[in-house]
């Protein structure tokens, strides 16, 4: 394989990604990391769990991404009284014709914002997660495939836990990335203030087609992943399971259980996605390190001892990244 030729081809064919980011930044001030993770999820065909306080442009970001493609967008507010049929759809009896007709639910869209996913009971969460995994929805005896691209962005509010149904670890593992959103800087918030007070709604230009996005997914698969990078990814994941093997003995009592094989796959995919966003045909260790927190933070369970010492999974991942030798 000629890496320089591959790099040149991917660089020339992925020009539209920069245009997508530029168009989204016209509407969403700051939050560059969140927008990049959205595109990584889109091109790597993975779903994203966002955690942040209200008002940090989570809804605006995915709505803008859908507008850039002129794709279908649905926002679903998860509440304790929501039923699976409210999400997937149901059969309606037609009394006049004496038969049942299918009424599809809001999940039949390209982009789904599952707002405050931890407010709905387990049955509703399972219905969404099944659609995410299987890429199809069954209503009655009929299965309907979901149109590609299909991206779920689920949000959680970290400051309010009363009346919520936390996602079990096995279900959280189905999300490719868990992104924590922080407040904007003072300068960014000044821009937000001026934009909201002095401007009308900014029009979003459709600059890419669904076919280009699917082509972007194909390009991501072609990004070169060297064996040394593969070994590095494996070392990072295995360090969460057997820290003693990597001279991380102090982490042994802090980790309840380590990252699953999904973490290995998603870390490689996300690193490829980061390389694609940089318009590069090969993955570097920096690509892996830049997405490691987002891929691993929800896949590591901290022990009671770690909770007592107020040690988070992010601190554990940081320690692993600092200790594991970079190729």
Distance CA 97, CA 104 (A): 19
Quick one: 35 and 164 in the same domain? yes
Q: Are residues 185 and 224 in the same domain?
A: no
Please state the domain count of the chain.
2
Sorted by sequence, the CB contacts under 8 Å of residue 22 that are 6+ apart come out as: none
Asked if the structure places residue 207 within a domain, the reply is no
CB atoms within 10 A of CB 56: 19
Identify whether residues 248 and 170 lie together within a single domain.
no
pTM of the model: 0.87
For residue range 100-122, what is the model confidence (pLDDT) as tens digits?
778 888 889 888 888 888 888 88
- Stretch 123-138: mean pLDDT: 84
pLDDT of residue 240: 92
Query: 29: domain range?
Result: 15-196
Round to whole Å and give the CA distance between 88 and 321. Answer: 41
Vertex 26: Cα angle to 198 and 277 (nearest 5):
165
Residues 136 and 31 in one domain: yes
Verify that 31 and 172 share a domain, yes or no: yes
SS (H, E, C) 212-243: HHHHHHHHHHHCECCHHHHHHHHHHHHHHHCH
Output 157 or 128, whichever has higher pLDDT: 128
Q: How many helices (H) and strands (E) does the chain have?
A: 14, 11
Q: Are residues 164 and 236 in the same domain?
A: no
Burial (Cβ within 10 Å: 0-12, 13-18, ≥19) of residue 1: exposed
- Is 115 found in the same domain as 27? yes
**Each residue's pLDDT tens digit, 161-197:** 655 667 777 778 889 999 988 888 888 888 888 887 8
Backbone angles phi, psi at 162, to 5 degrees: -70, 130
Give the model's pLDDT for residue 123. 85
The burial of 92, by beta-carbon neighbours within 10 Å (0-12 exposed, 13-18 middle, 19 or more buried), is given as exposed
Q: What is the pLDDT of residue 164?
A: 64
pLDDT, position 263: 93
What confidence tens digit (pLDDT) does each residue in 38-86 have? Answer: 999 999 999 999 888 777 777 888 888 888 887 888 888 888 888 888 8
pLDDT at 197: 80
Looking at the structure, tell me whether residues 184 and 257 fall in a common domain: no
Q: Is the preceding peptide bond at 160 cis, omega within 30 degrees of 0?
A: no
pLDDT at 224: 92
The domain that holds 35 is classified in CATH as: 3.40.50.300
Decide: 100 and 140 in contact? Cβ < 8 Å: yes
Check residue 205 and report its DSSP letter. Answer: P
pLDDT digits (tens, 9 = 90+) for 197-207: 876 677 888 88
For position 163, what pLDDT does the model report? Answer: 56
Q: Residue 296 sits in a domain of what CATH number?
A: 1.10.8.80
Contact call for residues 76 and 70 (beta carbons, < 8 A): no
Query: For position 43, what pLDDT does the model report?
Result: 92
Q: Residue 160's pLDDT is what? A: 62
| Cβ within 8 Å of residue 143, ≥6 positions away | 136, 137
Residue 8 inside a domain? The answer is: no
- Residue 230 tokens read as 């593969």
Residue 191, domain member (yes or no) = yes
Average pLDDT over residues 304-320: 90
The whole-number average pLDDT for the span 208-221 is: 89
- CB atoms closer than 10 angstroms to residue 154: 27
Do residues 61 and 191 share a domain?
Answer: yes
């Amino acid at each position: 394989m000629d890496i320089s030729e591959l790099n040149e081809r991917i660089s020339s064919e992925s020009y539209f990604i920069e245009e997508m980011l530029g168009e989204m930044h016209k509407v969403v001030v700051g939050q560059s990391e969140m927008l990049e993770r959205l595109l990584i999820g889109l091109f790597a065909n993975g779903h994203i769990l966002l955690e942040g306080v209200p008002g940090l442009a989570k809804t605006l970001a995915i709505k803008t991404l859908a507008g850039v493609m002129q794709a279908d967008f649905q926002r679903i507010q998860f509440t304790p009284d929501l039923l699976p049929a409210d999400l997937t759809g149901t059969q309606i009896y037609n009394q006049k014709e004496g038969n049942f007709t299918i009424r599809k639910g809001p999940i039949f869209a390209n982009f789904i914002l599952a707002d405050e996913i931890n407010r709905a009971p387990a049955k509703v969460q399972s219905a969404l997660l099944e659609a995410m995994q299987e890429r199809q929805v069954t209503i009655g005896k009929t299965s309907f495939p979901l149109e590609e691209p299909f991206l779920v962005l689920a949000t959680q509010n970290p400051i309010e836990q009363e009346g919520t149904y936390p996602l079990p670890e096995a279900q959280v593992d189905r999300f490719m990335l868990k992104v924590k959103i922080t407040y904007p800087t003072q300068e960014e918030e000044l821009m937000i203030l001026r934009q909201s007070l002095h401007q009308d709604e900014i029009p979003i230009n459709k600059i890419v087609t669904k076919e280009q996005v699917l082509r972007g997914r194909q390009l991501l698969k072609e990004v070169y992943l060297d064996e040394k990078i593969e070994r590095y990814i494996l070392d990072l994941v295995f360090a969460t399971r057997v820290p003693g093997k990597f001279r991380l003995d102090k982490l042994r009592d802090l980790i309840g259980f380590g990252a699953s094989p999904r973490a290995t796959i998603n870390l490689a995919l996300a690193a490829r996605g980061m390389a694609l966003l940089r318009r590069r045909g090969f993955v570097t260790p920096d690509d892996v390190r830049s997405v490691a927190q987002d891929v691993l933070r929800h896949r590591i369970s901290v022990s009671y001892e770690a909770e007592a010492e107020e040690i988070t999974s992010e601190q554990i991942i940081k320690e692993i990244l600092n200790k594991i030798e970079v190729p």
